[in-house]
Amino acid sequence: MSSTDTPADALAIRTADEFRGLYGGVPEGVWAAPGRVNLIGEHTDYNDGFALPFALPQRTRVAAARRTDGMLRLHSADVPSGVLTVRVADLDPAHPPQAPDGWARYPAGVVWALLDADLPVPVGLRGGADLHIRSDVPTGAGLSSSAALEVAAALALTELYGIPLARPELAALARRAENAYVGVPCGVMDQMASACATDGHALHLDTRDLRQQHIPFDCAAAGLRLLVVDTRVQHDLADGAYAERRSSCHEAAAALGLPALRDLPYPELDRALGRLGDPTVRRRVRHVVTENERVVRVEELLRAGRLREAGPLLTEGHASLRDDYEVSCPELDLAVATANAAGAYGARMTGGGFGGSALALIDADAEPAVTRAVTEAFARAGHRPPRITAAEPSAGAHRVL
């Protein structure tokens, strides 16, 4: 194994050990990519807008080794499906490899996207690879375990096979795997956060050109904490509703003669809304335009070290997602309202919505009280107990072993 970027963690070492047990050889390396929380800027990434995510300490590890016989072998410690073997030459979005809950489509999609991209000589990759995956990013909790898996696999394969890809291009390729191979029409924010975020920073992302800036976001130094409340709710309507929101945004932009809703400046919002007939479409547009403005304002506050003042903008963003964009749910609303009543500076749902997780900005010493308040409120309402953890802005994808 070659030199490492960061100290190895226990899960990475375990992942390497398990690889040996599964495949009988030593992995050539272990790579890790984190889940993410979006601080602000939700449902903006398919409108060419802004987002401000940060990487979680939870990461997906991929232990990997090259092969020469054209076979791709995949295994995840997190899904009881055994080793799955597919021929690289047979990878085809129309016939993805079958596995319980379809998880293998994510790493297989990354291999397919690498081969399908116009990249310098990815010939070696046709020889195949062995991948073993282990993650502590909760799946389906709105914390982007899917992007963590794609980005970790993409980084492992590009480094092993010497395929030169800058991080934004790697993120775009991982997104293409999810869009075209898995069939999920996600934007690029999750993959960008996982691939490009840095420790102690939020990532200011312009989804039009993937330009990024690292904004210092050291909550601990400011005596603050970010609580992530996983509601453990997964709504089935999420896919259809997401597609519906996307298309109404694109239709509204077209009706206003704009390339994307990002091109509608905040001061011109009211006038533009007057030109849109449908009240639902008006509310969707209002969310996107005000949300982009909130990203800009939160970024300014972070740069000025005025972290607490970002709180009310988070709560405003939640109200906009709940009332104008209609992608919240009772559990997310309860988590936000309860955290705020228990002293949070602000709180909001994070991720696509209809379940998943909420984020609360609190004083570090308020963590026990806010955690207790939210847990009790969920019990009183008859909801499943939420999983509540503290998150620190952490490193993006890197080689661990």
What are the residue numbers of the active site?
Answer: 190
Beta strands in 140-276 (DSSP E): 201-206, 211-216, 224-234
Q: Which of residues 60, 315, 328, 338 is near ligand ADP by CB under 6 A?
A: 60
Q: How far is the CB of 142 from ligand ADP (least distance, A)?
A: 5
Per partner kind, with CB cut-offs from 5 to 8 A, the member of ligand ADP, Mg ion, none near residue 357 is: none
Distances (CA, A) of 183 to 154, 177, 188: 18, 8, 14
Distances (CA, A) of 9 to 2, 154, 348: 16, 20, 31
Toward ligand ADP, which CB reaches closer, 93 or 140?
Answer: 140
Q: 63 in helix, strand or coil?
A: strand
- Total binding residues toward Mg ion, as defined by CB under 5 A: 2
Of the candidate spans 139-147, 254-262, 310-318, 389-397, the one that interacts with ligand ADP by CB under 6 A turns out to be 139-147
Toward Mg ion, which CB reaches closer, 185 or 259?
Answer: 185
Q: Which of residues 93, 124, 140, 200 is near ligand ADP by CB under 6 A?
A: 140
Q: Which of residues 146, 207, 338, 394 is near Mg ion by CB under 5 A?
A: 146
Q: How far is the CB of 103 from ligand ADP (least distance, A)?
A: 3
Q: Are 286 and 320 in contact (CB under 8 A)?
A: yes
Per partner kind, with CB cut-offs from 5 to 8 A, the member of ligand ADP, Mg ion, none near residue 309 is: none
- Total binding residues toward ligand ADP, as defined by CB under 6 A: 19
- Per rule CB under 6 A, is residue 15 in the interface with ligand ADP? no
- Per rule CB under 6 A, is residue 315 in the interface with ligand ADP? no
Per partner kind, with CB cut-offs from 5 to 8 A, the member of Mg ion, ligand ADP, none near residue 139 is: ligand ADP
Please identify which residue in the block is written with the tokens 């982009």: 292
Toward ligand ADP, which CB reaches closer, 135 or 340?
Answer: 135
Toward ligand ADP, which CB reaches closer, 38 or 60?
Answer: 60
Q: Are 103 and 76 in contact (CB under 8 A)?
A: yes
How many CB atoms are located within 10 Å of the residue 275 CB?
11
Which residue stretches of 79-202 are H helix?
105-116, 145-160, 167-176, 189-196
Distances (CA, A) of 73 to 42, 67, 86, 89, 114: 36, 9, 7, 13, 16
Please identify which residue in the block is written with the tokens 């080689």: 399
Dist. CA 148–CA 152, nearest whole Å = 6
Which residue stretches of 256-329 are H helix?
269-273, 279-303, 311-319
Rounded to a whole number of angstroms, the distance between the first and last alpha carbons of the chain is 7
- Per rule CB under 6 A, is residue 149 in the interface with ligand ADP? yes
- Per rule CB under 5 A, is residue 315 in the interface with Mg ion? no
Q: Which of residues 15, 44, 146, 191 is near ligand ADP by CB under 6 A?
A: 146
Of the candidate spans 65-73, 142-150, 264-272, 384-392, the one that interacts with Mg ion by CB under 5 A turns out to be 142-150
Dist. CA 39–CA 357, nearest whole Å = 12
What residues contact 219, with CB distance under 8 A and at least 6 apart? 225, 226, 307, 361, 364, 392, 393
- Per rule CB under 6 A, is residue 78 in the interface with ligand ADP? yes
- Which 119-138 residues touch ligand ADP, going by CB under 6 A? 133, 135
Of the candidate spans 143-151, 193-201, 269-277, 328-336, the one that interacts with ligand ADP by CB under 6 A turns out to be 143-151
Binding site for Mg ion (CB under 5 A): 144, 146
What residues make contact with ligand ADP under the rule CB under 6 A?
Answer: 60, 76, 78-79, 101-103, 106, 133, 135, 139-146, 149
